[in-house]
Structure 1
Amino acid sequence: MEDKKANIMAVSTIIVLSIFIIVARVSLKLSKPFFLIAGASGSVILAVFAHLIIRRRYKHSRKLLESQLVSQGIELRIEYSFLRKVAGVPTKFRYKELEEATDNFQALLGQGSSASVFKGILNDGTSVAVKRIEGEKHGEKEFRAEVSAIASVQHVHLLRLLGYCIIAGGPRFLVYEFISNGSLDCWIFQGRANRNQLPGGCLSWGLRYRVAIDVAKALCYLHNDCRSRILHLDIKPENILLDENYRAIVADFGLSKLMGRDESKVITNIRGTRGYLAPEWLLEHGISAKSDVYSYGMVVLEMIGGRRNVCLVQNGNDKSQRKWQYFPKIVNQKMREGKLMEVVDNRLTESGGIDEREVRRLVFVAFWCIQERAQLRPSMGQVVEMLEGHVPVEEPPDTQMIIVDLLAIDEELPDAHNMAPMAAIQTQPIDNNLPTTSTYSLDIS
């Protein structure tokens, strides 16, 4: 509209100026030099006026073009970001973005020995959990490879990795989707938190049983359905999150290990958390997917009892009187006595409504998973089948529980007295004459 007005004004000015010159020439009988000077002056004025109009139009066109390019660039970035999310490609965040998202890392969700987790909100409104890893030993190339492998994993019961950030010579960051109800340990262990939104302040039996199935499905996917088999290697209640519907989301692949499909075992430095480590870790026999199965079984027992599997009990102030209490050994004894309901979380038994057949099935599955011999443990796919009732479950064979002997060793610095029993345990063969099975079937109805 403004350009049209400018054109009309320019044409009108030219016409008026031409008429003025002609009238002046005729009526005033001005000399020819005056006419030439007036014409030249008018031409200069018109040239300047035209230049201003053209310049104005050029600036307007350039601003319009820049605006269109910016708009298209924003749309392309949004589309690119959307496609990256759909494809599971992790986003490389700038440190400034994470600093702003977490309000300078103020909202601490949790803290460990080498990592801290903060809640944040990205510019697009997405709630995230930002994990800051200190003292990362891996190189940048290896870290990127691990991030890519983890981000490519897409499953409803696995925590989604959204992106990462690398600071040269400093901490590294992993950006995950935010899960609202926190970790499983806060919902099953007594005294962990006040959970008034659930009856009894803890997960009901039905929710615990469903969580056991959710975690089993997630591990089954990692072990069998990924391009490279992924071993989690740190299954524990703290690494199992609960969404708004109390469905399980397996988290923290920081310790995970990629494993070729043709590999049966891999050797790696000991990692994981005490109380959930399979015997082959401690005996250096090499690990496999069955190591995750063992850790899963230990978590299931903790969900059943609402307590930690390994507790150090000390009578009075005498340090020499302390001893380890091993919950799986207690459960094993009650299982042989037919008194399984005595090991169930008392908060659940007080409220009632527990299916004793489900308790027996879950305990049986857990003990199959924590067999000392890895060959006796079921795959996670078989665990899912058993928990969903598609196949019956046999009563598991008695276990040696050599982990009890390992726990009996004092935690002081190694000396000749302590190293002797450790050496004896490491050379002790696991009984290979235990009964084997290929179907894990028994009608427990």
Structure 2
Amino acid sequence: MGDSITQDYASSPLDNDASSGKGNGYNSLEIASIASASAIVSVLIALVILFLYTRKLHPRSKIMSTTTKREVTMFIDIGVSITFDNVVTATRNFNASNLIGNGGFGATYKAVIISQEDQNVVVAIKRLSIGRFQGVQQFHAEIKTLGRLKHQNLVTLIGYHASETEMFLVYNYLPGGNLERFIRERSTRAVEWRVLHKIALDVARALAYLHDQCVPRVLHRDVKPSNILLDDDHNAYLSDFGLARLLGASETHATTGVAGTFGYVAPEYAMTCRVSDKADVYSYGVVLLELLSDKKVLDPSFVRYGNGFNIVQWGDMLLRQGRAKEFFTAGLWDVGPHDDLVEVLHLAVICTLDSLSTRPTMKQVVQRLKQLQPQLQTRVV
């Protein structure tokens, strides 16, 4: 009986439609077909509308993308608006006539930015070598960390621009040039021990800050005279800090000009590519030796001592032989306290020892230099 009821229930609609013979109704199959066709048409119309809408917006999106790419991110307010366009204008499209420095990370240009109130602000633009740095997104993240670093002896990072086709950093401009030029031109002026000591202490303080007070700590990896800038009062400022960590993963740190410059690179770093704060200490020691003497790190006069002889070996040799007087730049021995000069030479040599455990920390270097602080009036000996 149950089967009969089921059969009647299942067949009754079809029987009714078939027996009615009426043409003014639709069976379920026809209704389903119409519904499916309507849905397909609706989807097609929606896709066409979406396509046309997207195509219409595409030019606008391209403009917005270009604007974003040309954006300059600022860390501090210097009283004028710095944009991609006025940087290009102020450097004359990075013209050689505005060039004030050239290093392993890129070239630096002087740029005079003019505000709407006709007030001029001078900044330094470091144009980074495209292709040597990691991806743009990673660069954005890392450079913002560097923008938070503040110290009286660090060059101020004002802002930056980073895109696939252009990268540059905006720094405060320092009119005194770099230490490399200072050393090269100092024969034209009187030697002052007070000035040399101040430069040495300023740089040591900057490195001690990077090593001991930054979290995570920052290793410079390219400490050399051209990366130390001066103002008109011979205050020293360390530049290019933190840039070595932004290099692309494909770069090898053993090569010169990548993360370190031949002659200033610690021997263990050059051989193993393993960097530590003691590698910066070594580089600082080499800079200090150059600051005290008339010699370059790989001076031509060292040829007589054999291949590979450098300023580190020369300073150590003279100190051991009791001939320290011969090391110092012309006139310095006559105006500086002899004991203090020898002590600073000894400090520089210790900084460049092969043994990492024997090299001092930069904090210890600062403490020692402060103990050797010259008197305001330098006495002629």
TM-score range with shorter-chain normalisation? Answer: 0.5 to 0.7
Among 338, 344, 347, the residue aligned to 1:365 = 347
Flag the 1:217–1:360 CA change in 2: closer, same or farther, 3 A: same
Flag the 1:247–1:194 CA change in 2: closer, same or farther, 3 A: closer
Q: Partners in 2 of 1:126 and 1:96 — Cα distance?
A: 16
SS of the aligned residue for 2:229 comes to: strand
| 1:235 is aligned to 2:223 | yes
Within a 5 Å distance, the mapping from 1:388-399 to structure 2 comes to 388-389=370-371
**1:163 counterpart residue number:** 159
| 1:119 is aligned to 2:119 | no
**1:110 counterpart residue number:** 101
Cα shift at 1:284: 0.5
Higher relative contact order (CA closer than 8 Å, sequence separation 6+): 2
Q: Partners in 2 of 1:145 and 1:255 — Cα distance?
A: 13
Question: Does the 8 Å CA contact 2:75/2:147 hold for their aligned counterparts?
Answer: no
**1:382 counterpart residue number:** 364
Within a 5 Å distance, the mapping from 1:34-433 to structure 2 comes to 84-85=75-76, 94-106=83-95, 107-112=98-103, 115-124=106-115, 125-136=120-131, 137-168=133-164, 170-189=165-184, 193=185, 199-200=189-190, 204-253=192-241, 255-257=243-245, 269-270=253-254, 271-284=259-272, 286-312=274-300, 323-349=307-333, 352-389=334-371
In the superposition, the TM-score normalised over structure 1's length comes to: 0.58
Counterpart AA for 1:123: I
**2:376 counterpart residue number:** none
Counterpart AA for 1:99: V
Q: Partners in 2 of 1:375 and 1:322 — Cα distance?
A: 28
Q: Partners in 1 of 2:145 and 2:220 — Cα distance?
A: 12
In the superposition, the TM-score normalised over structure 2's length comes to: 0.68
Q: Partners in 2 of 1:299 and 1:194 — Cα distance?
A: 15
Flag the 1:312–1:135 CA change in 2: closer, same or farther, 3 A: farther
Counterpart AA for 1:218: A
Q: Partners in 2 of 1:312 and 1:339 — Cα distance?
A: 20
Question: Does the 8 Å CA contact 1:111/1:117 hold for their aligned counterparts?
Answer: yes
State the Cα RMSD in Å. 3.0
Counterpart AA for 1:357: D
Cα shift at 1:123: 3.1
Flag the 1:212–1:314 CA change in 2: closer, same or farther, 3 A: closer
Cα shift at 1:163: 1.0
Q: Partners in 2 of 1:310 and 1:92 — Cα distance?
A: 44
Cα shift at 1:313: 6.0
SS of the aligned residue for 1:85 comes to: coil
Question: Does the 8 Å CA contact 1:298/1:366 hold for their aligned counterparts?
Answer: yes
SS of the aligned residue for 2:160 comes to: strand
Percent of residue pairs identical: 31
SS of the aligned residue for 2:177 comes to: coil
Question: Does the 8 Å CA contact 1:216/1:380 hold for their aligned counterparts?
Answer: yes
Q: Partners in 2 of 1:378 and 1:268 — Cα distance?
A: 27
SS of the aligned residue for 2:233 comes to: coil
Question: Does the 8 Å CA contact 1:117/1:129 hold for their aligned counterparts?
Answer: yes
Q: How many residues align?
A: 284
Deviations 1:229-277 (A, max 9, x none): 000000000000111110110011263339xxxxxxxx97332100111
Flag the 1:313–1:211 CA change in 2: closer, same or farther, 3 A: closer
Could you tell me which runs of 5 or more consecutive residues in structure 1 were left unpaired when the two chains were aligned: 1-80, 259-266, 316-320, 392-445
